[in-house]
């Protein structure tokens, strides 16, 4: 008895949303995410770090300043909430950004256990190669609105969806903006084995949300 208005997925989860909205066949999606992962592994190594307790725009500005003054790059990769931004890029520049953010008042900088700089400029070449792979996949108009990571807009045009899947590799996940679409008049349900996005709901001021991994989820909606 759940009436779906729209869907979205964080990073790789965007493919899940597109499959659930019947925009991509599940077999095609599995091939795409495998190719995506392989291309990301072949990209230049880098690091990622979660900056907590600092305004998103201040983190973005810090990354821009360091990139402009350095040989490498660092940029905001996941705009998760007003006070949680994940940065991505070359390891040296990540270290500089962590130090600068903490000096400006960030509560914590948590280095992620990855060697791939997802959603950063280091993925430009991978994105170009991935674009060619996407051309061979049929993408239909989704049955529901899909808020995509790259532009935080509810896209239904298959060409725009493809373009945004390419951009997603090197552009930030605009989760903060996506959550602004559901803050006041939607009930948000996280579908998956955990409640990471449910936590981000709270951080983004979403008033009503749940997650399928909660023990009484079925009771909540079948009562």
Residue that is written with structure tokens 């790059």 in the block: 73
At 152, list the tokens: 């935080």
* CB within 8 Å of 66: residues ≥ 6 apart: 74, 93, 96, 97, 100
Q: Which residues are catalytic?
A: 11, 119
The 3 state secondary structure assigned to 123-190 is HHHHHHHHHHHHHCCCCCCCCCEEECCCCCCEECCHHHHHHHHHHCCCCCECHHHHHHCCCCCCCEEE
């Amino acid at each position: 008895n759940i009436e779906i208005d729209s869907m979205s997925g964080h990073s790789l989860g965007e493919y899940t949303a597109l499959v659930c909205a019947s925009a991509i066949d599940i077999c095609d999606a599995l091939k795409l995410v495998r190719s995506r992962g392989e291309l990301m592994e072949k990209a230049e190594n880098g690091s990622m770090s979660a900056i907590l307790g600092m305004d998103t725009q201040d983190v973005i500005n810090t990354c821009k300043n360091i990139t402009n003054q350095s040989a490498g790059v660092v940029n905001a990769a996941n705009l998760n909430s007003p006070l949680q931004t994940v940065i991505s890029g070359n390891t040296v520049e990540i270290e500089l950004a962590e130090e600068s953010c903490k000096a400006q008042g960030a509560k914590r900088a948590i280095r992620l256990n990855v060697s791939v700089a997802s959603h950063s400029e280091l993925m430009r070449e991978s994105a170009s190669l991935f674009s060619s792979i996407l051309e061979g996949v049929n993408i239909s108009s989704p049955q529901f609105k899909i808020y995509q990571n790259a532009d935080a807009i509810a896209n239904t045009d298959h060409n725009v969806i493809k373009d945004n899947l390419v951009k997603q590799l090197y552009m930030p996940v605009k989760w903060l903006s996506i959550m602004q679409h559901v803050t006041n008049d939607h009930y948000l349900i996280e579908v998956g084995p955990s409640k990471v996005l449910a936590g981000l709901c709270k951080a983004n001021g979403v008033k009503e949300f749940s997650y399928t991994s909660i023990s009484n989820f079925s009771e909540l909606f079948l009562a």
